Amino acid sequence: METLTIGELANRAGVGVETIRFYEREGLIAEPKRRPSGYRQYPTEAVRRVRFIRHAKELGFTLKEISELLSLRVDPERTCADVRQRARTKIESIEAKIESLAAMKVALERLAASCNGSGPTSECPILEELDREEDARA
């Protein structure tokens, strides 16, 4: 099976070599096999994992949350109900993110549209869209 050096992995995944070593230290990627020289040997699937980490980070997940996401799987050690439960929780937080983003998008589209209209509009139209929840608090 084809294997990659740390540099090849870093390149394909779009991060630096040092970042790979950092993720390894943090437990986000498994310690790979080594050649006799000590060089790390990665399977090609590792590229996926690193890319996933990168994407998830861009979406506002912390490395801790990402490692929780990555460790979610059907696993004889954990009950089905547990896996379901954890997945549900993550799905909900993802849905909330999607909704906030959709609201921002609407606000920006409204802004772009209002442009052709008349004079200066609201002070900052993007603010108009994003409250709703938690107005109860306070």
Partner DNA sequence: CTTGACTCCGTAGTACGGTACGGACTCTAT
Partner DNA sequence: ATAGAGTCCGTACCGTACTACGGAGTCAAG
Measured CA to CA in angstroms, residue 112 lies from 61, 99, 106, 125, 126 at distances of 29, 20, 10, 10, 11
Task: Reduce the secondary structure of 19-74 to three states and give it as a string.
Answer: HHHHHHHCCCCCCCEECCCCCEEEECHHHHHHHHHHHHHHCCCCHHHHHHHHHCCC
Task: Decide if residue 136 touches its own copies (CB under 8 A).
Answer: no
- 37-56 positions binding its own copies, by CB under 8 A: 45, 47-49, 51-52, 55-56
What's the closest the beta carbon of residue 47 comes to its own copies, in angstroms?
A: 8
Task: Decide if residue 128 touches DNA (CB under 7 A).
Answer: no
Among 34, 35, 39, 75, the residue binding its own copies under the rule CB under 8 A is 75
Q: Which is nearer to its own copies, 38 or 88 (CB)?
A: 88
Q: Which is nearer to DNA, 15 or 126 (CB)?
A: 15
